[in-house]
Homo-oligomer: A and B are copies of this chain.
Amino acid sequence: MQLLEGKGVALKIKEGIKLEIESLEKKYGVRPKLVSVQVGENSASEIYVKSQEKTARELGIDYELRKLDGKTTQDGLIKEIDGLNKARGAHGIIVQMPLPQTIDAKLISRFISPLKDIEAMHPQNMGEIVFGKAKVLPCTAAACMELLNSVPALELYGKEAVIVGHSEIVGKPLALLLLNKFATVTV
């Protein structure tokens, strides 16, 4: 058995992204911008948002937090997202969870343009995983694959993989990603 450590892997990935963003800026004069939408106050969200902002800035990504009133309706939030979908200056959109109970979080995911949906929660992006053509991935599933990729000379072909849990954001997409690498997967 081998326990995989994420910190070193994350550091390497971050370095790579930083360089990519630098060259993107030099070549095209574009600096990526992530817009985070938060509805109401939530202490867990606050911490998460701060950590997102810190990492984004470290990597050279602009980060804008749009705090909407806790009384924002579902339609109001959808309008806000739709504006961001059309905004040329916003390249990625992330909606902070949890949302107020009056808003259907799963429904909201469908209104983020698949092109700006960095968490890959739009059905279209999820479906691309089945076809092995995903350009964005749900983050925890992607992290598991990065951890596995970090093991030198690990060949997933024919390996038996066991996933505990079959959530929409981790278990199911991870199973698909492992199947794409020709592993035998049990969920």
Which A residues are within 8 Å of any B CB, using their own CB? Answer: 106, 122-131, 133, 166, 168, 171-173, 175-176, 179, 182, 184-187
Contacts and interface: CB of A to CB of B under 8 A. Distances in A.
A166 B181 CA distance: 11
Contact of A184 (B130, B172, B182, B187): B187
B127 A131 contact: no
Copies of this chain, count: 2
Nearest to A175: B175
A152 B166 CA distance: 26
Smallest CB-CB A-B distances: 10 pairs: A127-B127, A123-B127, A126-B127, A186-B186, A124-B124, A166-B179, A126-B130, A123-B128, A130-B172, A185-B187
